[in-house]
Structure 1
Amino acid sequence: MIIAIDGPAASGKGTLAKRIAAHFGLAWLDTGLLYRAVARDVLAAGGDLEDVQAATAAAKSVNADSLDDSALRGPRAGDAASIVAKIPEVRAALLEYQRAFARQAGGAVLDGRDIGTVVCPDAPVKIFVTASDEARAMRRFLEHQSRGDSITYDELLADIRKRDARDRGRSAAPMHAADDAVHLDTTALDADQAFAAALRLIELASNKC
């Protein structure tokens, strides 16, 4: 079973994907962390995020064991990731890693921006998770507030809208729902409600296979 979960930042797709993976006993990959790690490594080497050669080299040598780095979870890491993610050579370098992860025995759950459209276009289950800009910004604000981060709601709202525009407008694998994806709007749903709704969608999709 391969379950592809896509959607914009703070839509709840990561939390949902992790929970779905645990429910079905599948491996889970937050593909956004790969791009965050690439951006981190470029900056750590003193490089420019817009430098195609530096970003591609970082993508080819990204260490999957470093994806649990807490620094990859911050808002600035996400913004940096969306800059390197628009580079076609970076996406190509990370594509086979993601596909190999999906092909492992038993299957996997992957979440990102282009899982259902590019990484795993033949996945039997595709879910595109959305939520309003305001709801997503508030979720991020509460998350960072709980960690004591100094960032405002307005800053997060602006960041989310900027990232959405960049992700949708890039030439390489722009973010959009696959034609055969089912949509899940989590604006008015808590984590448990979103999980229950996703399980229903997965059951319906599985029955069609």
Structure 2
Amino acid sequence: MSALTAPPAAIAGHEPLAETVHPDMGSIAGFPDTDTDTAYEQRRQLETDLLVALSWAPADMVAAIVHALLGDLAHRVATAGNPPDRIPATHPLFCDHAAATVFAAIVELVDTGRPVTPATITAHLGQDGHTRAVRHLLLELTSPSGRPPLPGSPEAPHLAIDLVDKWYRAGFIAFIDRLAHAAREARDNHELAAHRDHLIAISHTADHRRRTTTDDLAAL
């Protein structure tokens, strides 16, 4: 089992940000709670566009993007799935469940040195036990309904940077929400200060992760 597929309880406890402790993305502050919300639809489209680009990109680019986002398998294992310079696999980089499922398959293919194509992703996931949304997304990879990826998928790193920026913004909104909650619930100022310091430390880690991932993606 790769670090990407490790049980959340084994990793998420390191950083109790709102987006790591609420598996239902719609319940998190900063995330729209309906599929009709424009911002949510835009993010879902971005996620789909990135997955389409990855499924048609050269193998070295796919691996480089996965490693820039999450770290390679050895790095994820060495850091128990919580690398300080990459986005932990348990963080919701993808807010759409179907997109997260497909991305997990891409990561597993990269981890095992297998090619990433629409056909290999579909074969890796299989057809049984997956939701209609996952099956629809697999069809989208095979025959994109929107703009097809450019030869060599040069847009893939830029799409990945956009996704990291949205992950960071969601975390920032969660930070504000958690701090406001602490201000309401803290029994005294000492407890409030402890909550503040803890959240600021997490925020600094998120800052570092955003810089390292986007810098590496921009260099591709």
Same fold, TM exceeding 0.5?
no
Higher Cα Rg, which structure:
2
Which is strand-richer, 1 or 2? Answer: 1
- Relative to the length of structure 1, the TM-score reads 0.30
- Relative to the length of structure 2, the TM-score reads 0.29
Which is helix-richer, 1 or 2? Answer: 2
